[in-house]
């Protein structure tokens, strides 16, 4: 199944929990510079698309395209690996929470580099040995996530493909966009079916791992074990869980 097809299967309830997080959007929009024309690759339902600029979106999943709000930017059905645009036809190109789905991320990033003068990518760093241990959900409940990144390029390789610098992005405790790491201080959220359906990781690890992780987390929340193990998180307003902005 291609990644566009994956979202044709799992994307039906995306907008229930996935939306623009304003503090992360501010970082992305600042990184785009003052360019007037912006390409959004892997655009989904349109989160993080800046207003006041001429935005063109690229999104392979028909189900995701269908959920774009009325008045959203023009959206082209295409794949990051083969962008149907002339060289240097945009001031800037952005890709948010999508590169990890592309069959060949380096090829897709080179395409973004080809069509735009500036490239901004919001993704996560899975390259260092401590990555799995950074987040309690993967460390204590869902180690299967490690299998999903085998053979994928590191964040350093992604950055090199577009000549980008790498900036850390901390996740606010009340992050509005319900991506995988968003509920790091709100563990009960992962017990909710709606929350999990907005996060592709749960579909990709499969129902057995999902149900085991949820059962185990629920038990630890009831017994107080989660609170005991993660007491250092309670006073944090933002967490460093490996999210990165690549700006090139």
- Site residues (CB under 6 A) for ligand SAM? 3-4, 7, 18, 41-44, 47-48, 59-61, 64, 79-81, 96-98, 101-102
The span from the CA of 92 to the CA of 34, in Å, is: 9
Provide the minimum distance between the beta carbon of 95 and ligand SAM in the complex, in angstroms, as a whole number.
7
User: Which helix or strand (DSSP H or E) is residue 171 part of?
Assistant: strand 171-172
> Closer CB to ligand SAM, residue 48 or residue 226?
48
> Closer CB to ligand SAM, residue 79 or residue 210?
79
**Residue 37, token pair as written in the block:** 């024309």
The span from the CA of 132 to the CA of 138, in Å, is: 6
The span from the CA of 47 to the CA of 72, in Å, is: 10
Provide the minimum distance between the beta carbon of 160 and ligand SAM in the complex, in angstroms, as a whole number.
20
> Closer CB to ligand SAM, residue 6 or residue 238?
6
> Closer CB to ligand SAM, residue 64 or residue 73?
64
Residue nearest to ligand SAM (CB): 44
Q: Which residue has the tokens 């850390």?
A: 168
| DSSP state for residue 189 in the 8-state scheme | G
Instruction: Annotate 76-87 with DSSP letters as a single string.
Output: E--BTTB--S-T
């Amino acid at each position: 199944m291609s990644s566009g097809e994956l979202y044709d299967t799992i994307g039906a309830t995306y907008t229930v929990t996935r939306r623009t997080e304003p503090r992360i959007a501010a970082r992305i929009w600042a990184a785009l510079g003052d360019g007037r024309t912006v390409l959004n690759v892997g655009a989904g339902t349109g989160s993080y698309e800046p207003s006041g600029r001429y935005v063109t979106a690229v999104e392979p999943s028909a189900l995701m395209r269908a959920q774009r709000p009325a008045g959203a930017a023009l959206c082209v059905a295409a794949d990051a690996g083969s962008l149907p645009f002339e060289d240097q036809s945009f001031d800037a190109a952005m890709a948010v929470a999508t590169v990890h789905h592309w069959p060949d991320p380096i090829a897709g990033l080179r395409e973004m580099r080809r069509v735009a003068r500036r490239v901004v990518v919001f993704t996560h760093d899975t390259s260092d040995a401590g990555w799995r241990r950074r987040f309690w959900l993967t460390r204590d409940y869902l180690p299967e996530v490690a299998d999903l990144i085998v053979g994928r390029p590191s964040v350093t390789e992604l950055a090199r493909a577009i000549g980008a610098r790498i900036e850390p992005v901390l996740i606010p405790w009340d992050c509005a966009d319900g991506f995988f790491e968003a509920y790091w201080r709100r563990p009960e959220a992962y017990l909710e079916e709606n929350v999990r359906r907005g996060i592709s990781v749960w579909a990709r690890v499969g129902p057995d791992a999902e149900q085991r992780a949820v059962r185990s987390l629920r038990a630890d929340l009831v017994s107080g074990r989660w609170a005991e193990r993660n007491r250092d998180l309670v006073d944090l307003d933002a967490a460093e869980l490996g999210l990165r902005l690549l700006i090139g």
